[in-house]
Structure 1
Amino acid sequence: MPQRGCTVLDLAFSVRDLARTRFALSPLWELVASVRVLKHPAEHPLHHPWSAQARRRLAASGLDWHLLADLVPQPPHSIPVFIAPPPTTSVADLGLELTVLRATPPEQVRSGLGGARAPRSERIDRLRSDPRRGLAELVELMSAYWEITLAPYWPRMRSLLEGDVLHRARLFAEHGADQLLGDLGSAVTWDDDTLSVGHHYARGSRHLGGRGLLLVPSVFVWPRVFSVITPNWQPTLRYPPRGVATLWERQSALPQALAAVIGRSRARLLAELDTPASTTELARRTGITAGGVSQHLTALRSAGLVDAHRSGRYVLYGRTEAAEVLLTAAGRPGDG
């Protein structure tokens, strides 16, 4: 069922559209969508464990992220498409997406910031008046914001997003496009070659025009869906992935199978890194001395199981994708 206060947008598919429908991940869109959560954390209680930590780190870093906040407004204003355009490849590469953003033609920036629902502020006016300089500053700001608020969590987020894509690929392989498109969330329904989407602004019926639909799972859109139907862009639907409600849960019981391979202390540290943490915090949680934690983290980092990210005065450690795979193979803590 469409969300309260939404109109309904019907996307009409042809056979060619079904053949060109694909999936992609977009770190840049996650960055932009996360700003909504940080600006209004009370409206996004599901993400409170992340937003509380991210706000503290932003405050400690001293980063001025007001331009980014201005570009991600509340309704009735809308997020300009050009700051997080639909990705052109299926590879999740923030650097590539930022390169595309920085190369946005000036006239496209001015057009995107000049519509009736475009956000307004003095900072945005400066971006609109000098797009080349403004985009360079915006890209630098986004890179810093990512390192502070999202980089430590990205391996876990990416694992969830990729898992959702694999699940839906299996649905398509086993049951066809009807099952795939009929399982995208409560705000989306599929019937008679038409995808009906709850939408805050658009209504009526649109034909995809043989371009297909780009499906982008997104952590920070939950519980809504976001769509792109603007001319010159790939028609896109950003939807919440399966399992997002448990993304920030901490499950730090010792993974016994992994402990038998890499040792109890290192397995315990990996389990504790469900949320990124400092050496001091890990020592407090585990009872291991700070020096011991540091030695174990150095070994885990050398093995490619842990990454380090600076947040203000602190260095935070987080699991890598390789560590996520190991924990999954060994059985998630609490699974047995």
Structure 2
Amino acid sequence: MGTVQRGRPAAAIDVAFCFMVVGYELTGSALGDVRFGISPLNELVLSLRSWRDPGRYPLHLPWIRRTRPLHEQLDTEVLQALVSPRRWVPDFLTPQPDSPLTRFEDELPRLQRVPASTVRHDLRAAYQGDAGVPAVLRGRQAVQRVVRALEDYWRLCFAPDWPRMRAVLEADVTYRGRQIAQHGLSGMFADLSDRVRMKGDKVEVSSPSGSGWVRRADQGLTLVPTLWTSAACVPVSPAEPPTIIYLARGSATVWESAPPPAPEALAGVLGSHRAALLQRLAAPASSTELAVGLGVTPTAVNQHLRALRAAGLLVAVRHGRSVLYRRSELAEQLLTTARP
């Protein structure tokens, strides 16, 4: 591919983006072209804001505390410079993802092909003028240094935990797809965020103050779950690709590993792991979601799921590429009986 796709200025994700009201008109074919995307690079870059203000990301404090000693091995001068005092980051570092299957290895090379004029423009926007751009981000070799710094940051701090993070993001996409099938687009948007609603063929993202715009989403609308924001956000410019970034469902569980307590009577019959699985399945979930929540491998979870299904305690339903599991009536009866 050529240059990186320009998405929303990441600068506005927690600040400017959320202080406006914008609308996307989904007419004609666009009404059926609401898609989801996941961007590893986007998550990596947005996580840098936790360096500047970790108190804003209490859910990620276990990860922040564990990875902070690794910063000594990184190009911290560059990485810290990528976040402005307002916690904005340059637009070219947050590409709009093409699909939920986007890989970091595919995104990083795109940065090296971003035109110099685009880099300068986005740096000026993030730092409110040339004077505010840090010296380390100036010059022809700056982008190459940024790429190397991000690659090291990914390798040391992100890659070991990315499967866990991606599992939460993918589980959210699966859940949203199920909502669309069951309740339609309007129902899905209503549950996305309290700042998002669908009125007729228009999707609105609102905030306490500011003004906005309405544009036709002729090429469809991309929804991007993230672990590193607290509200639904959209591009500042109506010329940018239609995108809504929102907090992924289940973000609070991303660093949890302890299973919930299971009734002793049921655990004595099924074993603690299988009893915990039944407890988790109060709502339908995939094996990936369950593995993340219980802190075990998907292989181990699948073994228990097969045993529970063979015993008539689970019902499995395929949804797209995922298989969702729910408790059977027999399982509900067992749980009811086992509860004190």
Aligned to 2:248: 241
Does the aligned pair in 2 maintain the 1:71–1:79 contact within 8 Å?
A: yes
Is 1:107 matched up with 2:120? no
Q: CA deviation at 1:229?
A: 4.6
The change in CA–CA distance for 1:89 and 1:114 in structure 2 (over 3 A counts) is same
Distance in 1 between residues matched to 2:15 and 2:74, nearest whole Å: 36
Secondary structure of residue in 1 paired with 2:241: coil
- The one of 14, 32, 39 equivalent to 2:26 is 14
1:54-83 Cα offsets, whole Å, 9 max, x none, are 212323xx21223222222343x6322111
Counterpart of 1:185 in structure 2 is: 193
Does residue 1:52 correspond to 2:60, yes or no?
no
Which amino acid in structure 2 is aligned with residue 22 of structure 1?
Answer: R
Aligned-pair CA distance for 1:198? 4.1
Say whether the 8 Å CA contact 2:123–2:133 is kept in structure 1. Answer: no
Counterpart of 1:192, as a letter, is G
* Structure 1 residues 237 and 324, CA gap change in structure 2 (3 angstroms): farther
Aligned to 1:39: 52
How do 1:121-136 residues align onto structure 2 when only pairs under 5 Å count? Answer: 124-130=134-140, 133-136=141-144
5 Å-filtered alignment, 1:250-265, equals 250-251=257-258
| Identical residues among aligned pairs (%) | 31
Task: Describe the SS at the equivalent of 1:113.
Answer: helix
Q: Partner residue of 1:164? A: 172
Matched, 1:215 2:251: no
Corresponding residue for residue 82 of structure 1: 92
CA distances 1:59-113 after superposition (whole Å, capped 9, x unpaired) = 3xx21223222222343x6322111111233323001111112211111111111
Match of 2:313 in 1: none
How far the C-alpha of 1:217 sits from its partner, in A, is 0.6
> For 1:121 and 1:320, how far apart are their aligned partners in 2?
50
Residue equivalent to 1:70: 81
Call closer, same or farther: CA 1:157–1:175 in 2, change over 3 Å. Answer: same
2:19·2:209 contact (CA, 8 Å) conserved in 1? Answer: yes
Aligned to 1:92: 102
The 1:253/1:10 distance shift into structure 2, 3 A limit, reads closer
1:32–1:325 CA distance, 2 compared to 1 (3 A): farther
Query: Shift of the alpha carbon at 1:320?
Result: 6.3
Aligned residues: 272
TM (normalized to structure 1)?
A: 0.68
- Residue 234 of structure 1 aligns to a residue in which SS? coil
> Unaligned stretches of 5+ in structure 1?
256-263, 268-304, 306-317
SS at 2:198's partner residue?
strand
How far the C-alpha of 1:7 sits from its partner, in A, is 2.8
Q: CA RMSD in A?
A: 3.9
Q: Which 5+ residue runs of structure 2 have no aligned equivalent?
A: 1-13, 263-271, 274-290, 309-330, 336-340
Task: Give distance in 1, aligned partners of 2:96 and 2:302.
Answer: 28
Question: Secondary structure of the equivalent of 1:90?
Answer: coil
Instruction: Return the offset for 1:250.
Output: 2.9
